[in-house]
Amino acid sequence: MRYYSTRNKAEGVSFAQAALTGLAPDGGLFVPQVIPPYPGPVRSSLGTMDFKDIAFETIKPYVQGEIPDPVLEDLIHTAYPFAAPVVPVGDRLVLELFHGPTAAFKDFGARFMARAFAYLRRGEEKPLHILVATSGDTGGAVAAGFYGIPGIAVTVLYPQGRVSPLQERQIAGLGGNIRALAVEGSFDDCQCLVKTAFSDQGLQKRLALSSANSINISRLIPQSIYYAAAAGKTFAGKTDLPGDGSPWDAPDAAVPRTLSLKPGQPITWCVPSGNFGNLTAGLYAMKMGAPIRGFIAATNINKTIPDYLTSGHYQPRASQATISNAMDVGAPSNFERMTAHWSLEELRSSIQGVYVTDEATRKSIREVHHTHGYFLDPHTAVAWQALDEIRSSSLPVSDPVGLLSTAHPAKFAEIVEPLTGPVPVPPALTQVMERKPLAQIIPADITVLLEVL
């Protein structure tokens, strides 16, 4: 498999080059030359295969010839001691992506990436420096995924005062080979600083740099796994029982409701969207052959992509702060990757865009807990509300419909608990709250960042 910049299809690079470089030299994002289809036997077995086997079959064609199959199997088994259950809640399905060590969906990409980097750089003497911007959960997942990995240092930039206290402890509470920089600005400022640093030739000569945002193809591809696994399961008419850590109000509330699935029906996924890496991974899974009908892109008031789908004109803008802070992105990087693969009309045929206000987000958190005894974090609540709005519009979606729950609600207790009462806290997050955040505050100034690096 060869990879090309979204801005230059003339020269291809290997998976290792694309992953370890992160951003293409011309500022574009790496994309695979093709999105490989699942072999027929794999596609027809997605509903019965083990999660790790689906992970292997999903990633294998993207790394063929560079990561041997036995090594890839080992990477996957160590990366994913957890899975992604799809559970009924009321009249819809919820894909719970928060059962990893940082209780957020970013664990799926970051943990594979860390292990792949360690393998791809075996024998290298010069340390690798990971530079990453985060609006919330990416930083914690990358920090946890790379913590203690020999030969790799990580610098995480996050917007000061715009992440939750728990997220800040995940990002800035580890120390060791993980350094945190709190930027006086927005996530877009952080992202701009990272992109500018990557284009600085002097820095490139002094440091071996790579990225760990969803701009990095090695983090995006593994996120296709849970789409394929969950879509295969629901296509077979199956769901999961809630597991440990599922955010129900009481154990008896976790009994599956009356929702039943008719086998043979592809699912529509409603995806809380900010930088659009998660939804792009879903598009990859659908293109590979997972039984997915389409997507609803649910954003907060940072509605750049919903506006694009309506008007046909892409207009990036400054981000606005909301209670679903990980989605506060006004210039989503992965838009460039989406439009490298698909035309506007193709995107319109696959995606409906909806935006949700903070008031409506709080309403969904409160009502879902009251009605179903289930806790939503603010990002999942955006998806829940967006699905409600789609269902009441003139463009309803066919069942089955599911939404991605991208973070455990305990990560946003200061927002959720005033609306619901105490949220159950999984053990991994209890341990995090004991950490002290150790971040260096810097202005949104590239000169300062370069000096720090």
pLDDT by residue for the chain (453 residues), tens digit each? 999 999 988 889 999 999 998 888 888 999 999 999 999 999 999 999 999 999 999 999 999 999 999 999 999 999 999 989 999 999 999 999 999 988 999 999 999 999 999 899 888 888 899 999 987 778 888 899 999 888 899 999 999 998 888 889 999 999 999 999 999 998 889 989 998 998 898 998 898 888 887 788 999 999 999 999 999 999 999 999 877 789 998 755 555 555 788 999 999 999 999 999 999 999 999 999 999 999 999 999 999 999 999 999 999 998 898 999 889 999 998 999 999 999 999 999 999 999 999 999 999 999 999 999 999 999 999 999 999 999 888 777 888 999 999 999 998 999 999 999 999 998 878 888 889 999 999 999 999 999 999
**Which run of H or E residues covers position 403?**
strand 401-405
Dihedral of alpha carbons 124, 81, 178, 376, sign: positive
Q: Are 368 and 384 in contact (CB under 8 A)?
A: yes
Residue 356 forms part of a structural domain = yes
Tokens encoding 426: 């999984």
CATH at 403 = 3.40.50.1100
- In angstroms, the CA 35 to CA 341 distance is 9
Residue 9 forms part of a structural domain = no
Residue 173 forms part of a structural domain = no
Residue 54 forms part of a structural domain = no
Residue 81, classified by CB atoms within 10 Å of its CB into exposed (0-12), middle (13-18) or buried (19+), is exposed
Q: How many domains does the chain have?
A: 1
- In angstroms, the CA 314 to CA 392 distance is 27
| Number of neighbours of residue 396 by Cβ within 10 angstroms | 10
What domain range includes position 89? Answer: 83-104+219-423
- The DSSP secondary-structure symbol of 248 reads B
Report the side by side order of strands in the sheet with 92-96. 86-89, 92-96, 401-405, 267-272, 292-299, 351-355
Residue 408 forms part of a structural domain = yes
Q: Are 211 and 28 in contact (CB under 8 A)?
A: no
- In angstroms, the CA 404 to CA 380 distance is 7
The number of CA neighbours under 13 Å toward the Cβ of 145 is: 33
